[in-house]
């Protein structure tokens, strides 16, 4: 049976791992390779590195650290941040990343997803979706969330975008529920469950993990394939071995 994945997310800014609350006020958490190795040793199933400044600044992700991480760790990792062409994606994949994740650039030019899937196969192509519920009660997509001064609310509905992304060749979708991000009150189970009904590729929950049971709820109630979290892992509030032990006892298939 396929295990559910625990995925620490390392937000990278200027070559360091940082974390903010509700996408703001970033503080430095540590060195990239050092944190990657720590999570690998603790039993993380996969890592995501998100260059939060790359997309708003219109530049691609700096590749040096990608190769360092690839040399150091022996679990899969995904790199996100400002990848806007097949050539940029190829450089990151050749540096040793297993997957690349696109978010704002795919909203600028959706055919980027088709191009990446054709060049590398859908298994390499993750689409990140930043989503927030608006006054009309609908979830809509946000763009350039790495920099609050540049963040844009789009008219595109989250679920419509997820359907389109899959048709274009997304092999996995990370749904970042911005309303619950950084406040540790649990994943947005309502939104994730809704997304699950239309998501036929692996779905990763992001935003809101604060306690062990939040992970269980995401896996059991929203049936997500993986759960991504940052601050609870970086701060030590939740230790991955303890989390996995708990999930195993709760009947969730995990890798011990």
Partner 1 sequence: MSVVLVDAGGTNIGSVRYALQRLGVDAELTADAATIRAADKVILPGVGAAGPGMARLRELGLVGLLRSLSQPVLGVCLGMQLLCAHSEEGDTGCLGLIPLPVRRFAEAPGLRVPHMGWNRLSAKQAHSLLAGLAADEQAYFVHSYAVPASDWTLATSDYGGAFSAVIARDNYYGMQFHPERSAAVGAKLLRNFLEL
Please report, as ranges, the residues that interact with partner 1 according to CB under 8 A: 1-5, 40, 45-46, 67, 70-71, 74-76, 90, 93-96, 98-99, 120-124, 171-172, 200-203, 223, 225-226, 255-256
Q: Out of 45, 130, 217, 225, which one is annotated catalytic?
A: 130
Compute the half-sphere exposure of residue 166: CA atoms within 13 Å on the CB side of its CA. Answer: 18
CB closer to partner 1, 122 vs 163: 122
Question: Shortest approach of partner 1 to residue 38 CB, angstroms?
Answer: 14
Nearer to partner 1, 75 or 194 (CB): 75
The nearest distance, CB 92 to partner 1, in angstroms, is 9
Residue 180 φ/ψ region, left for φ over 0, alpha for ψ in the -120 to 50 degree band, beta for the rest: alpha
| Identity of the residue, 99 or 142, whose beta carbon is nearer to partner 1 in the bound complex | 99
**Cβ closest to partner 1, residue 35 vs residue 203:** 203
Instruction: Indicate if 147 belongs to the active site.
Output: no
Instruction: Identify whether 130 is a catalytic site residue.
Output: yes
In contact, 210 and 181? CB cutoff 8 Å: no
Residue 153's SS3 state is strand
Residues 64, 165, 140, 185, CA torsion sign: negative
Sequence-distant (6+) residues with CB within 8 A of 1 are: 253
Q: Compare residues 186 and 202 and give the one whose CB is closer to partner 1.
A: 202
Nearest by Cα to 36 from 13, 12, 20: 12
Q: Sort strands 125-133 and 139-143 into parallel, antiparallel or unpaired.
A: antiparallel
Measured distance CA(83)–CA(46) in Å, rounded: 20
The catalytic position among 11, 45, 188, 217 is 11
**Minimum separation from the CB atom of position 86 to partner 1 (A):** 12
* R_g of the chain computed on alpha carbons: 17
Min dist. Cβ of residue 132 to partner 1 (A): 25
Q: Which residues, in sequence order, are CB contacts of 146 under 8 Å at separation 6+?
A: 23, 50, 51, 52, 53, 54, 55, 56, 81
Q: How far apart are CB 35 and partner 1 at their closest, in Å? A: 17
Active site residues: 11, 130
């Amino acid at each position: 049976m396929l295990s559910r994945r625990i995925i620490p997310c390392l937000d990278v800014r200027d070559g360091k791992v940082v974390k903010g609350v509700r996408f703001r006020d970033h503080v430095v958490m540590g060195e990239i390779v050092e944190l990657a190795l720590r999570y690998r040793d603790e039993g993380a199933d996969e890592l995501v590195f998100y260059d939060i400044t790359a997309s708003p600044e219109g530049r691609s992700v700096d590749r040096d650290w990608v190769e360092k991480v690839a040399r150091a760790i022996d679990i899969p990792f995904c790199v996100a941040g400002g990848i806007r062409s097949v050539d940029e994606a190829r450089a990151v994949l050749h540096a040793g990343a297993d997957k690349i994740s696109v978010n704002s650039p795919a909203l600028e030019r959706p055919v980027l997803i088709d191009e990446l899937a054709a060049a590398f196969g859908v298994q390499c192509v993750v689409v990140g979706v930043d989503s927030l519920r608006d006054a009309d009660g609908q979830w809509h997509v946000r763009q350039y969330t790495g920099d609050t001064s540049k963040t844009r609310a789009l008219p595109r509905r989250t679920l419509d975008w997820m359907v389109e992304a899959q048709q274009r060749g997304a092999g996995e979708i990370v749904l970042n529920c911005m309303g619950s991000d950084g406040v540790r009150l649990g994943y947005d189970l309502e939104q994730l469950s809704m997304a699950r009904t239309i998501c036929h590729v692996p779905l990763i929950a992001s935003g809101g993990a604060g306690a062990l049971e939040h992970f269980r709820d995401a896996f059991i109630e929203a049936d997500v394939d993986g759960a991504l979290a940052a601050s609870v892992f970086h701060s030590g509030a939740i230790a991955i071995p303890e989390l996995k032990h708990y999930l195993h006892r709760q009947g969730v298939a995990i890798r011990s």
